[in-house]
Structure 1
Amino acid sequence: MWFGKFLNSPYFNNRKMLIKLFVVLKRYYPEFEGRKFTKENIYASVYGKINYNDSTFRNLMSDLLQLTLQFVKLEGIEKNVIESDLFLSDELFERGNVNLLMSKIVQTERSLEKRNVIDSEYFMSKFKLNATKFFTNMITQKTTKKSYVTGESEILIESIVFMLCYFVMESLKHNEILLNYSRSYNIKKNIDTVSDFLDIFKFDKIIKYIRENSNINIPVIEIYFKLLETFLDMDNSGKYFDFKKTLLHHSKNLGTNENNFLHSRLIDYCITKKNKGASSSFDLDREIFELQKIFIKNEFYKTDSNSYLTLDLYRNVLLNCIVVRELHYMEEFISKYSKKLIPMHITNVENYSYALLYFEKESYSKALNCINKVTFDQFVFKVDMKNLQLKINYELEYFESAISVIDSYKHFLKNNQLLSENRKILHNNFVAYTLKLIHYRTGSKKVSLSFLSDRIKKSKNTFDKGWLLEKIKQLSAFEKKHKS
């Protein structure tokens, strides 16, 4: 274990008690629990027969924590090669080792270009390298010719341009995040703040300045500018399609995190418009489907820190496939991409997914078989699972089982601390209306289908109204047919 080697290095640690403490704690990894896992027992294992002293123990634990944090910091620096090289360049500059410094700058520049990624990290790194290069030359080189001054000035101008590029990218990105965050909670003041920011900084002029003063290929900056314009004027679909076209054209030159962030925003735009019920010149559900296909196929769900397909995205793809009736693609997606989830979730999510697919194909027995394989306590989409269980049992006319599901569902909703009150109302109403349908199916004369239909149509907080109304429509048609 690398941390063990770190602790045993006298350069970093010269206290044997910390090594002993680490060895003792390692025995309890990873649960760190057990009958003997007490402060007193750990202290005795480290200090032997010396009486327990809480202050000494807390100080020892604190010192071990500080060394742990130092180790994590060093590991992080080692992982980020470019950042590590830049730090080394700063140290060489401070120590006045010019030859080694200039050699390291050239090496770092090569490493940057080999990344073949133009992102904000790239621009900040180039700014630091050029600035270091300029100030090193200014201190160490004699100025004898005007041409030399011109060449050095270009290095400094490029450094300024790189800083501008970094500023534009990061400020546009964070303003876009602020815009969406504020829209979600209807904080109009923040939306005005973003508009004011764009008025203060004329980004079209900044981009023009960058073009005129460097040979930098800057599509990523224009993409971020178009992104922010798109979300500021959501009624203008032309801006959305301009943003989309530019992004798709340049995706191959963007980094992992940039592709993840920007393509997610394309999808977010459509979802935001759909959730608001805003009018659109194009089919939002179909557009979401096509965007998600691109997102999945190109693995834009990956970031530098996560290579797994997220559960929320996976779920959203399934639900959108149902909306646009792309069940063949849904089946292919489940087969291939359930394997891309975090391993601990794969089996449960896969069984749930096939249950959902079979339900949509009206293969209700197969759907029931699949959902019965899901371990509820370990399943992430608990509400989704309860809804599907209830609908499957209803379709199979297993009404006693359906009522049993309703009973456990109600308890789950009542005791769940993570669900908002609005969501609880949404699903409680769904359960209540489904129960009335079951009562009707089992012979109750107290249920009026027309009255029930009107109530559901007028309800603004009922889950899956479409399914409920479809079931009423089927029952009404059946009733009408048998009366005639």
Structure 2
Amino acid sequence: MENTLRNNPLIRLLKTLSKEEWQDFEKFVASPYHNNGRNFLRLVKILRKFHPDFESPKLTKQLLYNELCVGKDYKESVLNSSLSRLCSIAEDYLLYSEFRKNDYRFIECLKLKALSQRGLEVKAVKHIRNSVDSLRMNKLNEEYFHSMKMFRKEESMFNHSSNQRSRLYKPLSESIRFIVYSFIVEILSCDSTIMAQKNFWHEDYSNSYTKKLLSHIDFSGLLELIRSNDKQAFPVLNVLYLMNKSICEIDNDEYYFDVKKNAYEILDTLDQDFRKGVLSLLSLICTMKLVIGKKQFGAEGFEIRKKVIEENLYPVTHSNYMRPSEFRSTLLEAVNLSEIKWAEKFAGKFVEKIQPDIREEFIHYSKAIIAYEKKQYSAAIDYAVRVNINQIMFKLDMKNFIAKTYFETKSYEPLISHLNTYYQLIKNSNSKNHELLNRHLNLIKYLRKIVNIVLTNKRKEDLLFLKSKIEADNVTAKKWLLEKIRELT
């Protein structure tokens, strides 16, 4: 018998539920319609005591059985059966929860379809009349055009099946228009995501068949036509188009300032999730520009990111947890701009919004970085070696900070050894983001050279020559390297 249940499929699923979702889940479990007449609510209420982490050593099968079957001899098969059935109900709850998250316009579309298929013509006509205006009134989101496409298509199909063909043209022609709009949204959103996340994929997307297909679509011409004919749709589609251009042509700063201006003009017309996405992408573009050496975008991006964080507009996972990449980017941007107090406050508050099963790693991660910035080097090393996040970006971050910490404390012997393991991590990585890996390889190369100069008491001219090489190269921690050379000269 296992001592704990932390690896149980049900427990792994329940860890992903927020406090609000748990309340809904209890109602779902209590419903005879969903539980097939079996009462699992007592088991759920026992498990609630251990939510959200489920890390307590008290959580064992024996404990659950004793509370469920008071005074009876332990039978693991009985408990396993209950856990398995509750897991199935929990999976059904996830499906139900996702359905409820659908854009309400899509729900109205499904309702129209159901009424139409059952021949309830009077109800269907009334539903169309009541829905058309309200569908356009609420704030826009990424699903708006897709939902309108589906609703208008269902309306045209209803008109056809009920022999009201004189009413067929308008909804069908509008459906075609929304098909085009939806196509533009989906293509630009997917393309922007791929380009923005290129650190994590391994394929040559730029020369792929998919990208070649996109190159034959005249998005600029489409947007100009929409500008002239649809004042409601154009602002949103234009922001997505400019966002895509800014990401794909990261060297062109005009696209960024253009999209920022246009995005801020329509923020109030967007629903919260769409607003989150727009601001998050603006911040991401600034980060991408900063990486290629456009230093002025550091402060620009951080101001946007602060707005995102302080207004709780940051993107979250499906389980409503903060994305690890968002936590990392926010923390690093803050410390890079010497906003240490803000960074510490952010980390202390928002690490609790990281998914529970990886939260401890991010506590160590953030404490290592903040300790380093406070020159608490012993603590920085102690926290850094505890970090075990299985993503190359985070692994490189910690190798980077440990290397800098050893140098700051003049621990040259462990630094030399550490640089060897740092180098092997990069060489053994299967990441196709060669630019990222090369930046870190350059850090290792230049740090080795600086250490060699220090240990062999070479001349000032050697450091100045190295300084010129670093300034011209693409290297991680360039600012820090140049500061160390300046201190040594």
For residue 289 of structure 1, what is the amino acid of its counterpart? A
In structure 2, the residue matched to 1:324 is: none
Structure-2 change in CA distance of 1:137 and 1:227 (3 Å): same
1:97 aligns with 2:120: yes
Q: Which residue of 2 aligns with 1:120?
A: 142
Does 1:37 find its partner at 2:63? no
Match of 1:303 in 2: 315
For normalisation by structure 1, the TM-score amounts to: 0.66
> Which position in structure 1 is the counterpart of 2:269?
253
Structure 1 CA distance for aligned equivalents of residues 168 and 350 of structure 2: 51
Which residue in 1 is equivalent to 2:299?
289
Rounded to whole Å, the distance in 2 between the matches of 1:369 and 1:189 is: 41
Deviations 1:230-263 (A, max 9, x none): 4455555544544444334334433444444444
Secondary structure of 1:120's counterpart equals coil
Shift of 1:352: 4.9
Q: Provide the residue aligned with 2:15 in structure 1.
A: none
Structure 2 counterpart of 1:91, which letter? Answer: A
Indicate the residue corresponding to 1:177 in structure 2: 193
Determine whether 1:65 maps to 2:93.
no
Q: Is the 8 A contact 2:283 2:304 kept in 1?
A: no
Q: What SS does structure 2 have at the residue aligned with 1:341? A: helix
Change in CA separation of 1:19 and 1:257 when aligned onto 2, cut-off 3 Å: closer
One of 122, 130, 136 as aligned partner of 2:158: 136
Which residue matches 1:6?
Answer: 28
How far is the alpha carbon of 1:170 from its aligned partner?
0.6
> Is residue 24–residue 46 contact of structure 1 (8 Å, CA) maintained in 2?
no
Identity of aligned residues (%): 17
Question: In the alignment, what sits opposite 1:448?
Answer: 458
Q: Cα–Cα, structure 1 residues 392 and 318, in superposed 2: closer, same or farther, change >3 Å?
A: farther
- CA drift of 1:86 comes to 3.7
**Which of 1 and 2 has higher RCO (CA within 8 Å, sep 6+)?**
2
Give the drift of 1:287.
2.9
Q: Report the AA paired with residue 203 of structure 1.
A: F
Once residues 385 and 250 of structure 2 are traced to their aligned partners in structure 1, the CA distance between those partners, rounded to angstroms, is: 41
- Alpha carbons 2:406, 2:414 under 8 Å: kept: yes
Matched, 1:368 2:346: no
1:361 corresponds to which residue? none
1:434 to 1:195, Cα distance in 2 relative to 1, 3 A: closer
Which stretch shifts more, 93-102 or 31-40? 31-40
Contact 1:456 1:465 in 2 (8 A): no
Aligned-partner residue type, residue 296 of structure 1? K
* Counterparts of 2:417 and 2:30, CA distance in 1: 55
Query: What SS class does the counterpart of residue 236 from structure 2 fall into?
Result: helix
After superposition, the C-alpha distances for 1:404-436 in whole angstroms (9 at most, x for unaligned) are 975996798599899959588666657756765
Q: Which amino acid aligns with 1:175?
A: D
- Report the Cα distance in structure 2 between the residues aligned to 1:104 and 1:475, rounded to whole angstroms: 77
CA separation of 1:50 and 1:250: change in aligned 2, threshold 3 A: closer
Structure 2 vs 1, CA of residues 197 and 377 (structure 1 numbering), >3 Å: closer, same or farther? same
Task: Show the 5 A alignment for 1:399-418.
Answer: 402=411, 406=415
Deviation by residue 1:116-142 (Cα, 9 ceiling, x = unmatched): 22x331112222222333333444475
The question of whether the paired residues in 2 share the 8 Å contact of 1:351 and 1:370 is answered with no
Report how many residues are paired.
Answer: 432
Q: In structure 2, give the amino acid aligned to 1:302.
A: Y
Describe the shift of the 1:162–1:376 C-alpha distance in structure 2 as closer, same or farther (beyond 3 A).
Answer: same
Aligned partners of 2:368 and 2:383 also within 8 Å: no
2:246/2:255 contact within 8 Å kept: yes
Does the alignment pair 1:88 with 2:111?
yes
Q: How is 1:18-417 mapped onto 2 (pairs within 5 angstroms)?
A: 31=54, 37=60, 61-80=83-102, 82=104, 83-105=106-128, 112-113=135-136, 115-117=138-140, 119-140=141-162, 149=166, 152-180=168-196, 187-188=203-204, 190-191=206-207, 193=209, 196-207=212-223, 210=226, 216-234=232-250, 236-269=252-285, 271-272=287-288, 275-276=291-292, 284-297=294-307, 299=311, 302-303=314-315, 310-321=326-337, 327=338, 330=339, 333-334=342-343, 337-338=346-347, 341-343=350-352, 349=366, 352-353=369-370, 356=373, 367-368=375-376, 376=384, 382-383=398-399, 385-387=401-403, 389-390=405-406, 392-393=408-409, 402=411, 406=415
Q: Contact 2:283 / 2:302 at 8 angstroms: preserved in 1?
A: yes
What secondary structure sits across from 1:72 in the alignment? helix
Asked if the contact 2:368/2:381 (under 8 Å) is kept, the reply is yes
- Say which SS state the counterpart of residue 227 (structure 1) adopts: helix
Determine if contact 1:270/1:288 at 8 Å carries over to the other structure: yes
Distance 1:249 1:320, change over 3 A: farther
Contact residue 372 and residue 401 of structure 2 kept, 8 A: no
Secondary structure, aligned partner of 1:125: helix
Report the residue type matching 1:154 in the other structure.
K
Asked whether the 8 Å contact 1:352–1:370 carries over to 2, the reply is no
SS at match of 2:193: helix
Deviation at 1:218, TM superposition (A): 1.9
Q: CA deviation digits over 1:139-195, x for unaligned, max 9? A: 44756xxxxx3x652232222212221111111221233345569868556445455
Contact 2:423 2:441 in 1 (8 A): no
Q: Contact 1:271–1:288 at 8 Å: present in 2 too?
A: yes
Partners of 2:280 and 2:315 lie apart in 1 by 12
Does the 8 Å contact 1:257/1:304 carry over to 2?
no
1:389·1:405 contact (CA, 8 Å) conserved in 2?
A: no
What SS class does the counterpart of residue 302 from structure 1 fall into?
coil
Bigger radius of gyration among the two: 1
Please give the alpha-carbon distance, in whole angstroms, between the structure 1 residues aligned to 2:200 and 2:31: 51
SS in 2 for 1:342: helix
The 8 Å contact of residues 149 and 178 in structure 2, kept in 1 or not, is answered as: yes
SS of 2:212's equivalent in the other structure is helix
Length-normalised TM-score, structure 2: 0.66
Kept in 1, the 8 Å contact 2:148–2:178? The answer is yes
Distance 1:106 1:403, change over 3 A: farther
Structure 1: where are the runs of 5+ without partners?
Answer: 144-148, 278-283, 322-326, 359-366, 394-398, 441-445, 477-484
Per-residue CA deviations over 1:375-429 (Å, capped at 9, x if unaligned) read 5567686446535644554xxxxx5xx4697599679859989995958866665
Match for residue 364 of structure 1?
none
Aligned to 1:363: none
User: Do the aligned partners of 2:116 and 2:124 also contact (CA within 8 Å) in 1?
Assistant: yes
SS in 1 for 2:34: coil
How far apart are 1:64 and its partner, in Å? 3.0
State the shift of 1:94 in Å: 2.6
Relative to 1, partners in 2 of residues 1:11 and 1:428: Cα closer, same or farther, differing over 3 Å? same
